[in-house]
Chain A
């Protein structure tokens, strides 16, 4: 089945640094979603992208839907301690369930 390669698997950064993570696929998607999972909680949607090339921001978060429809990235600017968690990308094709990446575990050192 479809698989998403999410990288990096984990990151340790200093508070205030910018963060970049990405997701790639061997097949195309019509939707890209980014979720964040806080410790002990379920994933929560951060950003949804519906069009190839689309660039969307949500506060300090910026995500892009790759022009080839096979990739997406998420940037976090000026990280803060509450950014700690696991970030998941998910690809959607409209007629099958979302495919999730394995997550990027972010640790922020104050």
Chain B
């Protein structure tokens, strides 16, 4: 398996624009997680899915953030409208189960909002 695949690797956008980050989890993994990483706050869990259903989105910072998982092999994280404070590295991860198994991370999307 190619591992968790994220795109794009880098995104630079202007404040107010819509940003869409994409993730393809490892085949067969029932859980998908979206994280945000900043120097100040470390790795923050934004939302996670089980079998394509959102389970906990309490980490999503604002209504400007939304995530979907239309099928087992694809998920998106959307920010609309984007703000400079959204600048961070966003990771997608997948695992076989929620807490007892290893989570495998993608390479991340570095988002810069100017």
The contact of A97 among B4, B98, B102, B108, by CB within 8 Å, is B98
Whether B108 lies near A42 (C-beta < 8 A) is yes
Name the residue among B4, B100, B104 with the largest chain A CB count within 10 angstroms. B100
Interface digits, B1-29 against A, CB 8 Å rule (1 contact, 0 not)? 00010000000000000000000000000
Whether B100 lies near A30 (C-beta < 8 A) is yes
Q: In the complex, A28→B105 CA distance in Å?
A: 24
- How many interface residues does A have (CB within 8 Å)? 25
The contact of B99 among A31, A42, A43, A88, by CB within 8 Å, is A31
Whether B42 lies near A100 (C-beta < 8 A) is yes
Q: Closest residue to B45 on the A side, CB-wise? A: A97
Q: Closest residue to B102 on the A side, CB-wise? A: A45
Q: Does chain B have a CB within 8 A of A85?
A: no
A-B contacts, 9 of them at CB < 8 A, read A30-B99, A41-B107, A41-B108, A42-B93, A43-B105, A90-B103, A94-B97, A97-B56, A98-B99
Sort A-B residue pairs by CB-CB distance and give the 4 closest, nearest first. Answer: A42-B105, A102-B42, A92-B99, A94-B100
